[in-house]
Amino acid sequence: MRSFEKILDLASQHYGGAKGVKAKLGEHPHILDLSILSDDRVLAEMTRRIFQSGFVWKVIDAKWEGFEAAFDGFDPHRVAFYSDEDLDRLMGDTRIVRNGAKIAATLHNARFVVEVAKEAGSFCAFLANWPSDDQIGLLEVMKARGKRLSGMTGQYFLRFIGWDAFILSNDVSAALIREGVVDKPPTSKAAMKAVQAAFNEWADQSGRPRREISRVLALSIGPS
């Protein structure tokens, strides 16, 4: 595979040089100080990405104030102990998208957040202490212990909560195939391990966060 600098050169050719690439990087969420976030924001972000999956994002965004009210501000301790009556209430609440499986996933994930907080002090502390060179390990934990947090949903959750995450979008996958990291869009454990190794190598070369490396890979494919 090529060095990160050569991949950055490809992106620059497509987007008007280094300034154009820098402007594109600025359009996307930044790494945040997770220590200042509370776990209600973790559950809110999980829920938002789950409801947006396979749906029009703008619809969920437009309804988000209603989601916050319907789920009691996503206080994980409250949502974790929702009863069957609460589930019925939510299924009839027109302020949200009434998808039973996704509502049930939110209740499950509230319990997941509470359990991890007991182990690590807070879910945000758990995320902050997880090394950025092992995203696939973190995704495996979320898949095993959470609900509907695997694949792209898990990646988007990590990115938007402020963790240093790569996103395996179509363009990023195409770039990884072009660089010989994988031979098809990565889904298997072996392929994901190869992807993680590639991102780690590019991070070591460039000193850039994996979030930026992911975006530069996508930009290196060119405008769609």
Full 3-state SS string of the chain: CCCHHHHHHHHHHHCCCHHHHHHHHCCCCCCCCHHHCCHHHHHHHHHHHHHHCCCCHHHHHHHHHHHHHHCHHHCHHHHCCCCHHHHHHHHCCCCCCCCHHHHHHHHHHHHHHHHHHHHHCCHHHHHHHCCHHHHHHHHHHHHHHCCCCCHHHHHHHHHHHCCCCCCCCHHHHHHHHHCCCCCCCCCCHHHHHHHHHHHHHHHHHHCCCHHHHHHHHHHCCCCC
Confidence (pTM): 0.94
CA angle 152, 78, 50 (to 5 degrees): 15
Per-residue pLDDT at 29: 76
Give the model's pLDDT for residue 73.
Answer: 98
What is the longest distance spanned by two Cα atoms in the chain? 57
**HSE-CB for 43 with a 13 A CA cutoff:** 31
List CB contacts of 61: < 8 A, sequence separation 6 or more: none
Spatial distance between the Cα atoms of 119 and 106, rounded to a whole number of angstroms: 20
> What is the chain's pLDDT, residue by residue, as a tens digit (224 residues)?
999 999 999 999 999 999 999 999 987 777 778 888 999 999 999 999 999 999 999 999 999 999 999 999 999 999 999 999 999 999 999 999 999 999 999 999 999 999 999 999 999 999 999 999 999 999 999 999 999 999 999 999 999 999 999 999 999 999 999 999 999 999 999 999 999 999 999 999 999 999 999 999 999 999 97
pLDDT of residue 145: 98
pLDDT, position 42: 97
Q: Which residues contact 119 (CB under 8 A, 6 or more apart)?
A: 126
The reported pLDDT for the residue numbered 167 is 96
